[in-house]
Structure formats: C-alpha cells, structure tokens
Chain A
C-alpha cells in the first residue's frame, strides 16, 4: 500500500512488507505494565497513574539504540523468519475487540433478577407443600403443583420477554451501527492514509498528521525525526496507529503493533474501566428491595399469625405464597423494559441512539456534562471566522452553511483580498460534485486552504472559473522555512497586461515583505501606526484561538515583466519584497450553530456543562466563550488579573466564575483540590488533557454525587465515555472505540440532540413513577383478601391465579400507556434530580399507593365480593369464620343464611364467582387509578383527559380482557373465572369515582399549599 501513493505518504518497513511482524522483544513486559496500570487505576493512585500516562520510551532513543532494542536493521529490516517469530509471539496487528457478555449469561440474569427470586421461592414452596400433602394423603389435589408451575412459568415468560426486549433493542443498535460509517478515517486513495502502527519516524518530508482522534487537537501536526518532547504524545518523531497522514512523506520503524500501540493502550484502558450501574437500574433495584421487603415481612408476619392461630403449617405456607404473589408486581419489570424501549425508539427517531436500554433515563438525571470540544461542540473543520482589512475586523459567518456573510464587501480592499484568497490557493474541489452543496464538497488540500476555498466559493461563486481566467504562471508552495505561499497570475482584465503576484502566510512574515498597505482600495505607505493597528488585530484574533493568515499582493510592472517573461521559482527572478499588505484572515474550527442554544437549555435545566479537550487552552477558551460554556459576563482569574492589571495571585478566587485549567495544572492537583475546583467554579474548561485525566475529571464529578454525561468522539475519549454514567459518542465523526465505549450515539453528531435526550430521560423518569404508582396500588387490593381470609375466616375473596391475571393481564397495557403521558410542566426548567434524594419510589409514593388508593380499592372490591355472596344466599355476617367448614371437602350440605344447603363444588363455584367479582372490582377501580396517575400535581382536566389516546387503549384493553376472562373463559374451571352477572360490573363504579375525586382533592391542596405538610407527604 505504501507503493501506491509514494508522493503523499509512505511507510517503508525496511524491507519487510508485513506491518504486523516488526515488534519488539519486550512486548510481554509492556503488557504487564499495562495491567499494573489498570490495577492502580482502580486503586485510584492518581500520581502514579499519571506518571505512567503513556508507556513509551522509544522516541528518546537514537536510531542505533533502536536498532539494538528491536534487533533489526533500518536498511535491511527483519528477516522473514524473525518476522514470523514475532508474529507468532505478539499476534497480528489488530486491536482486540471488546469482550461481550455471552447470551446465556444475559438470559440467566433475567431469570433470577428482580422479583424472580421471590417467585421462584413461591413456586418451590408450592411444590414442597404438595410433597408434604402427598406424603400425608396420596389423593391430595394437584392445585399447589399447578400454582407452582404457573409461578415458574410466569418467571420464565417474563424473563424471556425481558431478554427478548433487550435483544431487540440491541439488534436495533446493531442495524444502526451498520449505518454509522464504521471508518471515520476513510482511506481515500491518494489523499489520506491511516498510519498502520506506532512508528518511530526516521526520515520525513513535510509530513503532517491529524492526531485529532488521539489528542483532540484539530490542527494538523507536523512530524519530523527530532525528539522534541518528553511526552510521546507531544514529540514530533512518533506517528501513531490509526491517525491519518495528511500530507508529506515519512519513513519509520514500527515500534508497537495492535493492542500495544498507544491507541490500543487507551482502548484497553477503556475496557478496564468498570461500567457504572445506571441510575435507573439503581432506582429499580431500590424499588424491588422495598416491594420485596414489604412482601417478605408481611408474608412472614402473617405466617406467624397463621401458625399461632392454629392453622396447619402447610396452610400457612400456602398463605405465605398467596401474600408473596399478591405483593409482587409480576408484570412491572417487563412493563418498565417496554417503556424504556419505547422511549429508546422515540429517541432513535430524533437521532439519539441508545445502546444500553437503561441509559435512556440516565440523561434525564444528568447534572454534569463533560463535553469534548473537537467534533462535538465544533464542526471539526477549519472555517474562516474573521477578516481584518481597512483597519477593521469583520466577522464572517461560521455556521454550517456559510450562507449569511454580512460583512462589508463594497470596499476596494475586499476586491483585492478576495482575489488573493482565490488565487493563492492550491486546494481544489474533487470533480463530479456539482450537485453537492459547497460546504459538503470534498476538497483536495489541507484544512486551511480548504477553508479559504470554500469561503471564497460561497462569496464569489465559481472559484475554478476565476482561477482559469487568471492563469497561474508560477508558484512557490508553502513550506515551514518560508512560512509563506506565493503565486503569479495573469490578470483577467484584457487591457491590463501586468502580472499579479499574490502571497499568503504567517502574518508577521508577510508584513515583513510589505512596504505599503491597502486601505479602502488605496495603497498607503506602511507607517508605525498602521503596523500598530496590524499588531493589535493580529493579537486580538490570535487571542480568540484562531489561526491567522496574512495576505499581500503586488502588480508587477508590465515594462519589466512582459507577457512573455519566464518566471523561475528556484532563482526567484522576481521581487518578493515591498509588497502591498491587504489584510488578515483568521480561521477556527467553529462551534456548531446549534450548540450555544443547547448549552443554554442545559443551563436552564440545571446541568453544568464542562469542556474537556486535548486542544490548547486559548482555542478551548475561545470556543467555550462562543458556545456559552463560559458565559459572556463571567471571567477567569486570569481575565480579572489582566483587567485590573494585578498579578494572578492577588485576585480573589471568589470573583471568578469561570476557570480554564490545563492538563499540566491538573497533574499537580490533589483530588481534594480538584473537588474544590469543581464545586467553586460553575464554568470550567479543561485543556490539554490526556485520556487518563479525562477519567480523573469524570471521577471527580462523580464524587460530588453528580450523574455525569461525557461526550466525545476520539479514541482518547473512550475511557472517560466508559467511566461516565452515560457516555455519548458522535455517530458520524466518532471513532469505533468511542462508539463501543459509549451508551448512546448521536447519529447526527448534534450536541442539541443531548437536550432532547435530557427531556426524554426526565419524562420517562416521571412516567415510570406514575407506572409504578399505578401498579403498586392494586397490590393492597390483592393483599387484603389474604389477610382478611386468615384473620376473619372469610371464604377466599381472590385466588392466586386471578391475581396473576390482573398483574399480567389487565394491568399491562395501561401501565405501558402511562409512558405516553406528556410532561405536566416544563421539565427543562427544573434542576436535575438528586441521585440520592429524589428516588423513583419514595415514601409518599408507597404510602399514597398502598395506604390511600390501595385501601380504597380493597374496600371497593370487597363490596363487590360481599354483594355477590349476599345475593346468592350468604350474608356478610354468615361469612365470618366460615372458612373451615367452607373449605372442607367432606361437608356437602353447608347451610347458607336462608337455610339452603350447598355441596362443596357448588361452594367452590360460588367462590370462583367471588374471585371474578373481586377481580372485576379491582379492574374497574384500576381504570380510575389509571386516570388519576396521568398527573401527579395538575388536575386531570388541566392535563387533558383525552390527550393521551393510548390511555384509552389501555382502558379498553382492561375491559376487553376482563370480559373475555369472565364470559369467554368462564367455563374453563382451571382459570377460576365464572360468568358474572352484568350488574356486578358496576358495583365498584362509585368507589372508582370516589378515588378520582379524592385524588383531585389531593392535587388541589398540593397546588394550593406548596411546601405545606400536605404537599410534603402527599406529593410523590
């Protein structure tokens, strides 16, 4: 591959063609070193970790030492046997892909997670109970075996369902990741080349590399053979694996391959960082603990009560199972999964691709966003930002399409300047892109020239045509010694036979060559005051973090340089001094136009936005200011010192709201100092940071109990992405390593999508609260029957199977429907929730669901139950303590309140009718419960009863399922449903209405008396 494009870039591997075979003998030691580093990372030994930041010494060695170290020769290279040996020992030159959890482990996790354990215990108790029964009486009924099987089936089915849901969302991810260009650094033939391994450069020729994916620096870095810096990332004589060479040629020796390259080290650092539990996972765990705690403690309490009431232990075990089943919301976790995946789908439509389902909510609780600069906040391309001519700075439009260039273009100076910009430029559009918008066209040339080309194309129109009319006759390309670029053209004015010489380059160099300056189209002598103005402008633009270029020209007199004159660039047979200075132009990688607005929105949502970049502090600060990460009126300590003209040490730190901290400063900070920094300043920019430091910053934020989101695109970001509570990678510009480490991928690379994510995350959190409150409520209505049954000896009001039909039947669609509920108020104007204080399930939620609505529901359902029994002949008074006789198989002439006698089966059938009645009672009141859960604070009428159509689908599904169970399956005796008289369906309606009215009153008081004891205890 090196041979294909020798004029641009080549890697000559000293005779060996195989890149992967030239590794060192100390690979193993290096690997061990890496492991040590990871261990230390876990122990959080900041200093040692920093020392080991990058594990590379080779850049300091001389070529001779290198040859000795690697046992090779820079001319002949390794022998093929040596190479084969090395390949066998070190493996091929590739990164180890990240390990994936085996599917079976994922599946088993679903089988034992959450409430599953409780239900398994229930099932096993059932079987044990049957075993004891069978031991005592061979003919005992198989009911408890069936129940055990049903419970096991429920666990397995919900487990399979949750697994399927997750697998499905993973598949969505997989299909999307195919859409994401897998190679952001495309190897375009003859234009860019990816460096195949870590290379110590031996000889270079104008070589420039793009290290942005590694260090975050957006500017191309020049490479040479000299050792220039201790830090291997900064030194010029190393080329890194997976970075691109933009121009020039270089020859080097491979020093590291595969996982042992710098990139490989960072990638494995990322995989070494443990994945944090997502906030929603913590919340759900917390909730499971609460419910399981309630279930187990009530279960055991009543087990003891039952035993002390002289019930058989066996019966008491059956009660225990009933209590557990009634208490556990079997369908809830599946519902939560569905709800999350619905939101994930919705977010995917808005270009937020969620890899880990639970991360859907994480953005909602995010309180700090650590954003990378290049490619995330900025467009990752050089763009003309300012112009200086006629002693004036003009602002150019840096938005994505450049459409709105408003600066004054009437001046004669601009005419000259634009001509220089157009002509003194070697960049060209790749042919065949006529239909592509200018800003999206592919350009052959370096970043600055590309910026200038696009800038002039937008303002002047067809640049190629202009160049054609001003034919180029000679050219001196840019080089680092001259620091300027020069070309000589014929003019497009047929009457003007002069040649035009145009030059651009480093401003100070260009100015040196000038004796005049153009102001308002007129040449004026360059005096001290204009030079001063030039310097002020130059400093100002440089201070904005922008790269400044100077432009000048000279019309060569026609008498000395006739049309036939032959220019020779080697002897320079033309003047290169006393030129006319025309103007300055500065370029920056500008922020994306949507970013400032997104940052403002994050701010108003109480989220702190911190910039963490590998780029220079000046550039970083400039971008931070322009996107609002440092707001317009806040200053850093240095700014204040400069304004007041006092030393930095004298400035009171309290006056400064913003801080710009470099990696060097960060290196010397203790964790405590970092904590202080993070709490004291509301606006922080970290510049020149290494991947390890990004990790430290994220950990620092997490120490403040913050939920941290990290955005990034480079390989250097991947450890931090992994460490963050939610890592957000860029879909288009992002590297694979970043996408692998992230939990979320922004498909359009748009920072503004994060705001959408925050909004969706907060909404889903609120709606999950509603779903859980809705689901928990009926638990009391399911539990009370068992308690009353044990204590008052009523015939069992509701059976275990019937409960399962509520939990996994009628209640499922309604609880999912709550996920479609719109926000009650502007959720983007409140603070992010506190990880430890604002829980998903808090005391008011549990108390209100269990002890208020749940109890009302239980009473309503009991009314239906008593009605059915009373109208069939058993008055409530007759039911008390009837249990023993009622359940005896041998009693077949049980007398009711009217003197009639019932066989055992006739009673059983009545009992099932009672189950159905109780079930219908709960179902009817759950409709009211569903409606009241639409809001937590506002009245239902403020929210709109019909705005969420899915709620009504849910209500319809409840009624239809109940109708099918009663009338369709009423004849299947195993299900314990019977056909219920139509009027019994309406018995609980007044209670349902009461629930609604009561909740409206609750909400009214909450709105009327915010902060009162009512608000504190009744708002969940």
Chain B
C-alpha cells in the first residue's frame, strides 16, 4: 500500500507512527478492559464465595437420598470377572479392597469413639467425634482373616457402602438387602448379619467438622452353588427398612440400590 518510495519517507513514517499509536492505544485499551473484566470476575466470585458456609453447603436439595456404591471400584461397568486359578486376575480387586479398608484399620480407629448401638448420634459441636466401625463385623470380608477377600477360594467379597450426605438421619432400621437375580446360581451372605447399618453413624456433619468419619459398610460374600454350571451371578443390593431412604428411582439406577455382576472362571 501507499505511494511509491520516491515520495519521501516522511509521509510514510507519519503514517506508520500514526498507525502505531492507534495500535498501541487499542492494545492498551484491551489490556485495561480485560484487566478490569478479570478483576471484576474475581471480585464477584470472591463475593459469591463469601456467601458460602465452610462446613455445610448452602443447599442439599439435590441429594435428598443416598446412593449405593460398591467396592472394589469397578473399572468400567459394574462387572467383576476373575479366574480363581489365576491370582493376577483378581489382584486389582484385592488391592482395591485393601486400600479402601486401610482407613478402617484398628490402628486408625484407635482414637475414635465407641458409640452405643441402635440410636442416631446427634452432636452439638464445637468438636464432632466419629464412631468406630469394627471391621471384624465384616467377618470373612474384613481382610483380617482372609487377605484375599475370598477371591482365591471362589467366594468373592464385595463391599457395599452408602453415600455420605450431610445431615441425613435414616428412619427405622436401615439395612442392605442383597439378592441374586435370575437363576439361583449362588447363595449370598451379608455381614454384618442381616446387612444392618447402625444408626450411630448418622448424621454426618461434613468433611470439615466430622474429621475421620467412617461410613458404615456392608459386605456381600458370594458362594456359588457347586451344582450350578454357570459361575455367574447378578446381585442387586437395596437399602431396606428405612422409609426415608429411597431405593427405587426410574432414572437414577444407584439411588438406594446397586446392581453388579460377578463372573468366576474356574
């Protein structure tokens, strides 16, 4: 652009200078403008965070009822598959369970309170104590007697836990009820007996207040019938016995229930 070079470079220079000024003005403007926007955004976010409570979220309406989750943590779908003869095939499951139960170690639980059974344990603060969860109540699935959690003997253990929800107070006598679906190819044993979840673990007061809280667990041990040909079972566990804990929702497949499948090869 511009006239040929013989036109003296003064004009060109002026043009460039002017052009340069405008460019730098525009850059400066965007710097200020975006700086201002960033500051404003930070300020509003800060102001918004001030409205929050550190201990309890402002609203809990979206999780009125807890979901159920199982351990070992499934990789993709809730489908456990292993070979009794091949320890490598269930190594992952065993490690996962061991790791998960680490916090339930007797050593770890030393400082926790031994709470009386069968009643809600409402606390007023300022300090909140957590109840002990006697891992032995999980019997053969506690990992104490059998560090392989029954996988090596063909009686695999699955732990079922109920999601933590702050302030949740179950009514009645909540328990985890597991049944095998379809053909009766296996018998299920739940520990603690009857799959009971003790009320003393409720309510939960949140990560910050309720440090070292341990949520109650229920273990399911599968024993395949020797007669059955297929070593495959689909298990459904549901929360039972508590009117305010829902276990049936068309859309949420994990609300108060969990379904998983175990396939055992010889």
Contacts and interface: CB of A to CB of B under 8 A. Distances in A.
Given A896-B57, A905-B253, 16 more contacts: A866-B48, A870-B58, A871-B59, A872-B57, A890-B77, A890-B78, A892-B258, A893-B67, A898-B207, A899-B204, A899-B213, A900-B165, A902-B163, A905-B255, A906-B67, A1017-B26
A1013 B164 contact: no
B229 to A, nearest CB: 26
B22 interface: yes
A906 B63 contact: yes
A863 interface: yes
Contact of B67 (A899, A903, A909, A994): A903
Interface string B246-259: 00010111110010
Nearest to B215: A901
B16 to A, nearest CB: 15
A991 B51 CA distance: 18
A909 B62 contact: yes
A994 B41 CA distance: 12
Contact of B33 (A852, A901, A909): A852
Interface in A858-914: 859, 862-863, 866-867, 870-873, 875-876, 889-890, 892-893, 895-906, 909-910, 913
B76 A906 contact: no
B56 interface: yes
A994 B206 CA distance: 38
Interface of A: 852, 855-856, 859, 862-863, 866-867, 870-873, 875-876, 889-890, 892-893, 895-906, 909-910, 913, 973, 981, 990-991, 994, 1013, 1017
6 contacts: A863-B48, A872-B58, A897-B57, A899-B204, A899-B206, A906-B252
Contact of A859 (B40, B56, B165): B40
Contacts of B48: 863, 866-867, 870
Contacts of A994: 40
Which of A855, A898, A991 has the largest count of B CB atoms less than 10 A from its CB?
A: A898
By secondary structure, the B interface counts as: loop
A898 B57 contact: yes
A863 B57 contact: no
- 4 A-B pairs with least C-beta separation: A899-B207, A903-B67, A901-B163, A905-B252
A906 B253 CA distance: 10
B251 A905 contact: yes
Contact of A892 (B22, B69, B207): B69
Interface in B92-151: none
Interface residues of B, number: 48
Contact of B63 (A889, A897, A902, A1013): A902
A898 B208 contact: yes
Given A890-B74, A900-B166, A903-B255, A872 B59 contact: yes
B206 A898 contact: yes
Contacts of B161: 893
A871 B57 contact: yes
Contacts of B52: 870-871, 875
A893 B69 contact: yes
Interface string B47-61: 011011001111110
Contact of B251 (A852, A973, A991, A1013): A973
Contacts of A862: 41
A415 B60 CA distance: 104
A873 B40 contact: no
B188 to A, nearest CB: 21
B231 interface: no
B77 A1013 contact: no
B169 interface: no
Contacts, number: 119
Nearest to A973: B251
B202 to A, nearest CB: 13
By secondary structure, the A interface counts as: helix
B25 to A, nearest CB: 6
B153 to A, nearest CB: 27
B7 interface: no
Interface string B62-94: 110011110000111110000000000000000
B66 A899 contact: no
Which of A901, A991, A994 has the largest count of B CB atoms less than 10 A from its CB?
A: A901
Which of B48, B68, B204, B258 has the largest count of A CB atoms less than 10 A from its CB?
A: B48
Given A867-B48, A870-B49, A906 B62 contact: yes
A890 B67 contact: no
Contacts of A903: 67, 69, 163, 252, 254-255
Which of B41, B56, B63 has the largest count of A CB atoms less than 10 A from its CB?
A: B63
A876 B49 CA distance: 9
A211 B25 CA distance: 66
B213 to A, nearest CB: 8
A889 B77 CA distance: 8
B44 interface: yes
B266 interface: no
Interface in B218-266: 249, 251-255, 258
B37 interface: yes
Interface string B30-52: 00010001001100110011011
Contact of A871 (B25, B58, B75, B204): B58
Which of A892, A896, A900, A981 has the largest count of B CB atoms less than 10 A from its CB?
A: A900
Contact of B22 (A863, A890, A906, A1013): A1013
A876 B251 contact: no
Nearest to A876: B45
A906 B60 CA distance: 11
Contacts of A1013: 22, 25-26
Interface string B174-211: 00000000000000000000000000000010111010
Which of A892, A910, A981 has the largest count of B CB atoms less than 10 A from its CB?
A: A892
B245 to A, nearest CB: 13
Nearest to B58: A871
A856 B204 contact: no
Given A910-B62, A973-B251, A902 B67 contact: yes
Nearest to B48: A867
Contact of A875 (B49, B77, B255): B49
B37 A859 contact: yes
Contacts of B204: 899-900
B49 to A, nearest CB: 7
Contacts of B55: 898
Nearest to B55: A898
Nearest to A889: B77
Nearest to A864: B48
Contacts of A876: 45, 49
Contacts of A897: 57, 207
Nearest to A892: B254
A972 to B, nearest CB: 12
A115 to B, nearest CB: 29
Contacts of B41: 859, 862-863
A138 to B, nearest CB: 12
Contacts of A981: 59
B206 to A, nearest CB: 5
B49 A901 contact: no
A900 B163 contact: yes
